[in-house]
């Protein structure tokens, strides 16, 4: 086979592209900067949607849909927001063969159009809170794009909530971040650091931004989800006020939050190996794939047995039976490994005779013979083991590459090897920017669980009360 995956050690970013292409997650499109998400990739996205949508609904959120086009004037209403987004917006100037009276922005995010509607819907404290989410596509005209990680158009969910008080909105923003954390860790088996973004790194238009940050295998950071407390910024911009219980007229407090198809990129770079993708069982669209192995003389009995196993597994798992005649088993093994299916179920004539199957772990390639009578429980146990071990492996990787550093020279040296650095920072944007300029490292976030610790800013030496996480990032 000509198509090989570039080893990670040789060129990590080529490895990434090879995996995306060869696992058939996505393909380059005729439109520059855009990608086609192929069925294998979209199935993962659907799985992500399914899990998150359930969590959103369980916490009182509902789905809705707002227009793709946003009047230019709306975009311009919130000062910081415009400034943050204007340069990367696609703008429609013509429609129906004529120039439009007012240009329409293709949404880079929907705060403005949503808050223009919230103005109509909110009068009283009785109308609050509004907890709306939408699954949508957005467009940001990026200069440099990479499959899943940064494309001109991408899919995401964006939650937009309205609350009577700051406390309530703050609580919402934090609740969602916790949903993102548990999703990342419990489903994607991807350890994340939860924390607050610095003033410099926060969302354009937010008062506070929170994020989950993950470490990829090349030790670069990837922001995997964000949640914002928007304060009254959009309420003021769109004049959204309500009369409270106490009779006072007040501005509404807002949040917004989102995760995108970028999570698929995170998945690849957290678990993949030189053979291809590895999908954690809880997020895998297909958890087991059965590969029958037959000779002409054993064909019927192997296939019949395989179908029986398939019907059994199907009761409880997402399973595929690969009974294609035109490919040999070895070819199929490789193909399913590239696609990252957690468990391969091998069934040959010898297994049929012994009334067993052979389970093969994708992550370790370990082969485990299992009698048919214990198949269901063993499969479940093994999926669980794989899920846990992927998380542990990723967590170990992160721990081994995270360093507490108090000296700027050392900071630069350690960073060169690739790492997360826990260092003191005085809180000034100037230091943050200088460090970024000199080292390309940014403050990923200020972790919620950091220890109170007095120290000196890694850059200027001014007093600091705790460490923040620095890293080079995607």
Binding-site ranges for RNA (CB under 7 A) = 1-4, 13-14, 17, 28, 32-33, 84, 87-88, 140, 142-146, 149-152, 154, 203-204, 211, 223-226, 258, 260-262, 275, 293-296, 299, 325, 327-331, 333-335, 337-338, 344, 346-351, 358, 360, 365, 440, 473-474
DSSP codes, 371-430? EGGGHHHHHHHHHHHHHHHHHHHHHHHHHHTEEE---HHHHHHHHHH--EEEEE--S-HH
The gap between the terminal CA atoms of the chain, to the nearest Å, is: 32
Rounded CA gap, 156 and 26, in Å? 16
Q: Which is nearer to RNA, 125 or 305 (CB)?
A: 305
Rounded CA gap, 367 and 411, in Å? 43
* Residue 378 CB contacts under 8 Å (≥ 6 apart), including other chains: 359, 368, 370
Query: Residue 339 CB, nearest distance to RNA (Å)?
Result: 10
Q: Which is nearer to RNA, 182 or 462 (CB)?
A: 182
Query: Residue 230 CB, nearest distance to RNA (Å)?
Result: 13
Q: Which is nearer to RNA, 21 or 460 (CB)?
A: 21
Q: Which is nearer to RNA, 133 or 464 (CB)?
A: 133
Q: Which is nearer to RNA, 58 or 437 (CB)?
A: 437
Query: Residue 344 CB, nearest distance to RNA (Å)?
Result: 7
Alpha-carbon separation of residue 132 from 55, 85, 191 (angstroms) = 13, 22, 27
Given the structure tokens 């030189």, which residue do they identify? 274
Query: Residue 343 CB, nearest distance to RNA (Å)?
Result: 11
Pick from 374, 370, 373: which is nearest to 360 by CA? 370
Q: Which is nearer to RNA, 242 or 411 (CB)?
A: 411
Which contacts (CB < 8 Å, 24+ apart) does range 319-327 have?
A: 319/286, 319/287, 319/288, 319/289, 319/290, 319/345, 320/286, 320/288, 320/289, 320/290, 321/289, 321/290, 321/292, 322/289, 322/290, 322/291, 322/292, 323/292
Q: Which is nearer to RNA, 38 or 150 (CB)?
A: 150
Rounded to the nearest 5 degrees, what angle is found at the Cα of 353, between the Cα atoms of 351 and 355? 65
Query: Residue 338 CB, nearest distance to RNA (Å)?
Result: 6
Q: Which is nearer to RNA, 227 or 423 (CB)?
A: 227
Query: Residue 2 CB, nearest distance to RNA (Å)?
Result: 4
Query: Residue 275 CB, nearest distance to RNA (Å)?
Result: 7
Q: Which is nearer to RNA, 128 or 230 (CB)?
A: 230
Provide Rg for the chain, Cα atoms: 25
Alpha-carbon separation of residue 42 from 24, 46, 158, 194, 354 (angstroms) = 10, 6, 18, 27, 39
Q: Which is nearer to RNA, 206 or 394 (CB)?
A: 206
Query: Residue 150 CB, nearest distance to RNA (Å)?
Result: 5
Query: Residue 235 CB, nearest distance to RNA (Å)?
Result: 21
150: which DSSP letter? B
Rounded CA gap, 97 and 287, in Å? 50
Q: Which is nearer to RNA, 144 or 245 (CB)?
A: 144
Pick from 359, 355, 365, 356: which is nearest to 379 by CA? 359
Find the helix or strand (DSSP H, E) in which 437 lies: helix 429-439
Structure tokens at 149: 């990680």
Query: Residue 274 CB, nearest distance to RNA (Å)?
Result: 11
Pick from 291, 359, 300, 366: which is nearest to 331 by CA? 291
* Number of alpha helices (DSSP H) and beta strands (DSSP E) in the chain: 14, 25
- Alpha carbon 40 to chain centroid, angstroms: 16
Query: Residue 134 CB, nearest distance to RNA (Å)?
Result: 15
Q: Which is nearer to RNA, 161 or 356 (CB)?
A: 356
Query: Residue 34 CB, nearest distance to RNA (Å)?
Result: 9
**Residue 310, SS3?**
helix
């Amino acid at each position: 086979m000509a198509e090989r995956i570039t080893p990670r050690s040789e060129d990590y970013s080529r490895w990434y592209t090879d995996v995306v292409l060869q696992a058939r997650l996505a393909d380059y499109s005729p439109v520059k900067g855009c990608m086609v998400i192929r069925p294998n990739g979209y199935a993962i996205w659907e799985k992500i949607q399914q899990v998150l949508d359930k969590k959103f609904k369980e916490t009182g959120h509902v789905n809705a849909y707002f227009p793709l086009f946003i009047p230019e004037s709306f975009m311009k209403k919130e000062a910081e927001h415009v400034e943050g987004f204007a340069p990367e917006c696609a703008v429609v100037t013509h429609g129906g063969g004529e120039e439009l009276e007012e240009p329409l922005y293709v949404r880079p995010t929907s705060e403005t159009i949503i808050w223009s509607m919230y103005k109509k819907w909110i009068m009283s404290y009785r109308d609050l809170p509004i907890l709306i989410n939408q699954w949508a596509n957005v467009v940001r005209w990026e200069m440099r794009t990479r499959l899943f990680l940064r494309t001109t158009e991408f899919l995401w969910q964006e939650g937009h909530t309205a609350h009577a008080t700051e406390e309530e909105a703050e609580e919402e923003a934090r609740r969602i971040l916790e949903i993102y954390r548990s999703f990342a860790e419990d489903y994607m088996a991807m350890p994340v650091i939860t924390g607050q973004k610095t003033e410099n790194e926060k969302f354009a238009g937010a008062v506070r931004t929170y994020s989950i940050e993950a470490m990829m295998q090349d030790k670069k950071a990837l922001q995997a989800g964000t949640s914002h407390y928007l304060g009254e910024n959009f309420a003021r911009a769109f004049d959204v006020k309500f009369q409270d219980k106490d009779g006072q007229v007040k501005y509404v407090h807002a949040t917004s939050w989102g995760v995108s198809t970028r999570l698929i990129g995170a998945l690849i770079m957290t678990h993949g190996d030189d053979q291809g993708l590895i999908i954690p069982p809880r997020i895998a669209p297909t958890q087991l794939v059965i590969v029958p192995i037959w000779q002409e003389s054993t064909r019927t009995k192997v296939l019949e047995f395989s179908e029986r196993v398939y019907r059994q597994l199907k009761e409880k798992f997402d399973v595929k039976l690969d009974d294609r005649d035109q490919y040999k088993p070895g070819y199929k093994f490789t193909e399913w490994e590239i696609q990252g299916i957690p468990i391969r179920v091998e069934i040959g004539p010898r297994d049929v005779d012994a009334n067993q199957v052979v389970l093969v772990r994708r992550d370790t390639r370990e082969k485990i013979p299992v009698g048919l009578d214990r198949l269901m429980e063993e499969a479940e146990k093994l999926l669980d083991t794989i899920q846990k071990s992927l998380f542990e492996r990723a967590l170990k990787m992160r721990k081994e590459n995270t360093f507490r550093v108090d000296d700027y020279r050392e900071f630069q040296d350690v960073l060169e090897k690739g790492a997360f650095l826990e260092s003191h920072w005085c809180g000034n944007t100037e230091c943050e920017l200088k460090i970024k300029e000199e080292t390309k490292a940014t403050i990923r976030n200020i972790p919620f669980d950091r220890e109170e610790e007095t120290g000196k800013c890694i850059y200027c030496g001014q007093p600091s009360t705790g460490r923040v996480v620095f890293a080079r990032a995607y």
